[in-house]
């Protein structure tokens, strides 16, 4: 299969988006930008499209997809209308008023319209209304319901640029809509509204405190940050090693001088063993490290910059064939929680305190 690439920086590139919409409506796959990461889209109501998504990503088929919509009212087709679920829909409406369109995904009981192929066999459905203008126009052109996981091969860092989509998906999907670099850089926050109190299954740009302002009580799945919680994460996708670069990655936490001293020692050892080394650190600390490749995530207190740069850095370290990677730990409050969660998964939970 040839993968066609179209450049679409504006939502009103109608001809290009109409073509992409036709591909989706006829069961094909189109990758597209969202405000979080690039998604790999298929018609969410067509079981064959969902099967194709799993095949293109090499993703286990028990790992459900997020259904993307472009207007709030379209949620009613996806969610069970049974009276006992009314409260959940009311909570969804409140969250939508506060955070949609935007980087928040809600889990709700699914209706008959959503095929089990899309939900990985679950009786719940994940729904998101993104804010990216091109994404919204594409979803409308596709008929309103687009299932889209991140557009990476399963286990690799999510793509923040179209060229990373192509690295993973060339020849496997029909089209890539190139809308430039994404804004946030980490996947959406996932909140499960089928439980009381609501529970965050994946941290993201919309933080626990922001959700609490709307819902009152909200908890975070303990397995998300603590590998020793003894529980499997509740979002099936969070249990897999993920976002991982090819190099062997370790996170080092502690006071900055001790961290750089420790990492530099380890780098000397790795170098002596003939390995290419890399670090992922704050801009302020860049000079303190002696690795072959030093990557800055931006200033220490700039979580937005770190979120935007992290996956790109992980892919660049691969491109530069770095074999041993050390990363500074992040504050795990606010957006830092989402960044630390992705770093821990990229490092296979390998963290050292110095």
Instruction: Enumerate binding residues for ligand TXA (CB under 6 A).
Output: 34, 36-37, 39, 63-66, 105, 107, 119, 122, 124-126, 128, 148-150, 187-188, 190, 201, 235-238
List the Cα angle 331/236/108 in 5-degree steps: 95
From ligand TXA, Mg ion, none, interface partner of 277 (C-beta below 5 to 8 A by class): none
150 binds Mg ion (CB under 5 A): yes
Q: Going by C-beta distance under 8 Å and a sequence separation of 6 or more, which residues neighbour residue 277?
A: 267, 270, 271, 291, 292, 293, 322, 323, 324, 325, 326
Q: Which stretch binds Mg ion (CB under 5 A): 150-158, 196-204, 209-217, 309-317?
A: 150-158
Give the residue with the Cβ less far from Mg ion, 30 or 267: 30
Q: How far is the CB of 353 from ligand TXA (least distance, A)?
A: 28
Work out what residue 105 binds among ligand TXA, Mg ion, none; the CB cut-off runs from 5 to 8 Å by kind: ligand TXA
The arrangement of strands across the sheet holding 248-253 comes to 293-296, 277-281, 324-328, 248-253, 351-353
Q: Residue 241 or residue 353: which is nearer to ligand TXA going by CB? A: 241
Q: Is residue 34 near Mg ion by the rule CB under 5 A?
A: no
Using CB under 5 A as the binding rule, whether residue 160 contacts Mg ion is answered as no
Is residue 188 within the footprint of Mg ion (CB under 5 A)? Answer: no
Total chain residues near Mg ion (CB under 5 A): 1
In the complex with ligand TXA, which residue's Cβ is closer, 102 or 278?
A: 102
Burial of 271 (0-12, 13-18, 19+ CB in 10 A): middle
Q: Round to whole Å and give the CA distance between 30 and 252.
A: 39
The site map against Mg ion for 108-147 (x = CB under 5 A) is ----------------------------------------
CB atoms within 10 A of CB 83: 7
8 A C-beta contact, residue 143 and residue 43:
yes
Please state the separation of Cα 218 from the chain's center in Å.
21
- Separation CA 32–CA 253 (nearest Å): 36
Q: Which does 207 bind (CB under 5 to 8 A by kind): Mg ion, ligand TXA, none?
A: none
Tell me if 36 contacts Mg ion by CB under 5 A. Answer: no
What gap in Å lies between CA 37 and CA 1, rounded to an integer? 24
Decide whether 58 or 180 has the Cβ nearer to Mg ion.
Answer: 58
Rule CB under 5 A: which residues touch Mg ion?
150
């Amino acid at each position: 299969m040839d993968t066609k690439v179209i450049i679409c920086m504006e939502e009103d590139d109608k001809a290009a988006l109409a073509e992409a919409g036709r591909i989706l409506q006829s069961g094909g796959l189109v990758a597209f930008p969202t405000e979080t990461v690039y998604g790999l889209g298929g018609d969410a109501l067509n079981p064959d499209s969902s099967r194709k998504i799993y095949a293109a990503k090499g993703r286990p088929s028990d790992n459900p997809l997020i259904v993307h919509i472009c207007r709030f009212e379209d949620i009613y087709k996806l969610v069970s209308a049974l009276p006992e679920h009314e409260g959940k829909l009311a909570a969804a409406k409140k969250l939508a008023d506060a955070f949609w369109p935007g980087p928040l995904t809600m889990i709700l009981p699914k209706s008959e319209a959503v095929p089990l192929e899309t939900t990985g066999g679950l009786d719940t459905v994940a729904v998101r209304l993104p804010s990216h203008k091109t994404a919204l126009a594409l979803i409308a052109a596709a008929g309103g319901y687009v299932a889209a996981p991140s557009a990476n091969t399963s286990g690799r860092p999510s793509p923040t640029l179209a060229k990373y989509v192509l690295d993973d998906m060339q020849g496997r999907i029909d089209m890539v809509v190139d809308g430039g670099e994404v804004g946030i850089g980490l996947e959406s926050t996932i909140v499960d509204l089928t439980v009381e109190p609501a529970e965050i299954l994946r941290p993201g740009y919309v933080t626990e405190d922001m959700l609490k302002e709307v819902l009152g009580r909200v908890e975070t799945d303990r397995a998300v940050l603590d590998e020793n919680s003894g529980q499997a994460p509740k979002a099936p996708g969070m249990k897999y090693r993920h976002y991982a670069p090819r190099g062997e990655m370790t996170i080092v936490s502690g006071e900055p001088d001790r961290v750089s001293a420790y990492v530099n020692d380890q780098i000397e050892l790795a170098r002596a063993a003939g390995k290419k080394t890399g670090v992922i650190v704050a801009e302020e600390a860049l000079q303190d490290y002696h690795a072959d490749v030093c990557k800055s995530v931006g200033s220490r207190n700039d979580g937005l910059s770190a979120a935007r740069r992290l996956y790109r850095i992980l892919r660049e370290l691969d491109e530069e064939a770095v074999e041993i990677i050390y990363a500074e730990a992040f504050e795990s409050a606010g957006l830092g929680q989402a960044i630390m969660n992705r770093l821990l998964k990229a490092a296979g939970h390998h963290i050292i305190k110095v």
